[in-house]
Chain A
Amino acid sequence: KAGVTQTPRYLIKTRGQQVTLSCSPISGHRSVSWYQQTPGQGLQFLFEYFSETQRNKGNFPGRFSGRQFSNSRSEMNVSTLELGDSALYLCASSLWDRLEAFFGQGTRLTVV
């Protein structure tokens, strides 16, 4: 069974640009959530989607957005990139909410 797949693995962007990250959950999993990891703030929750609906959002500015498609694949978008957005972005999927979450390998974003 394939795990959670995130693309791309690495990304370098310039301040002011926007970026889209992709996450394909484990087959059959309907809940997809996103996390940001930085050395200073640790792992922080961004948002969670279930059946194409955002059910929960963390404390991030509106520049951070996401969506989930009917096949449960999810994308997150960051607009007007800032240097502080440089981070490891991790996606997790679970069969149902509150059940075991499985993480992808992450996308390492560097903003220069």
Chain B
Amino acid sequence: GIQVEQSPPDLILQEGANSTLRCNFSDSVNNLQWFHQNPWGQLINLFYIPSGTKQNGRLSATTVATERYSLLYISSSQTTDSGVYFCAVGGASNSGGSNYKLTFGKGTLLTVNP
């Protein structure tokens, strides 16, 4: 199956700093999503970005599908940005049936200090 690697595993920032989180995947994908897991465990959708670039406020993401990686940029970090960020990918289906599922990376634990 598809392998997903996220880096760095841990990141500590001062409030106001910028950061880049990376997601590498091992095969062609037709779905790539970035999530932020809140303290109660819910996965909050940040971006659905199988290819291209998107921006939402202080966050932006870029996926280069041909090179099998995606980047999540966080600018002007705030303490509320703290938490675990997950990248999840859905592989291209085999012919004749659906093998859809999301494969998650291990996440990046972001800590933003005041």
Contacts and interface: CB of A to CB of B under 8 A. Distances in A.
B35 to A, nearest CB: 7
Interface size of B as a range:
20 to 34
**Majority DSSP secondary structure for residues of B touching A:** strand
A64 interface: no
Given A42-B106, A100-B45, A48 B40 contact: no
Contacts of A106: 40-42
A35 to B, nearest CB: 8
Contact of B101 (A33, A37, A99): A33
A92 interface: yes
Contact of B102 (A33, A55, A88, A105): A33
Interface of B: 30-31, 33, 35, 40-43, 45, 48, 86, 88, 90, 93, 97-104, 106-107
